[in-house]
Amino acid sequence: MTLPTSADMTLRDYFAGQIAAAFIIAPKQPGVLRLEGANLAKMAYETADLLIAERGK
């Protein structure tokens, strides 16, 4: 498997990666459930899409 370079990464990918990192550490907060695998990716990209939509306003 070849890892993508920054030239292959979209703003959406970047946002999703940052959001996924935050979701990974979030369960350390009381009452926050841990997300894993496909659920983590889905939530990260959904949130990234919301950020991009807001950015475009």
Q: What is the pLDDT along the chain (57 residues), one digit of tens a residue?
A: 666 666 788 999 999 999 998 888 765 666 666 777 888 899 999 999 999 999 987
Give the range of the structural domain holding residue 35, as residue numbers without chain letter: 19-55
Is 36 within a domain? Answer: yes
Q: Which residues contact 13 (CB under 8 A, 6 or more apart)?
A: 4, 48
**pTM (two decimals):** 0.73
Q: What pLDDT is stored for residue 50 in this prediction? A: 96
In a domain, residue 6? The reply is no
**Is residue 41 in a domain?**
yes
Considering its fold, how many domains does the chain have in total? 1
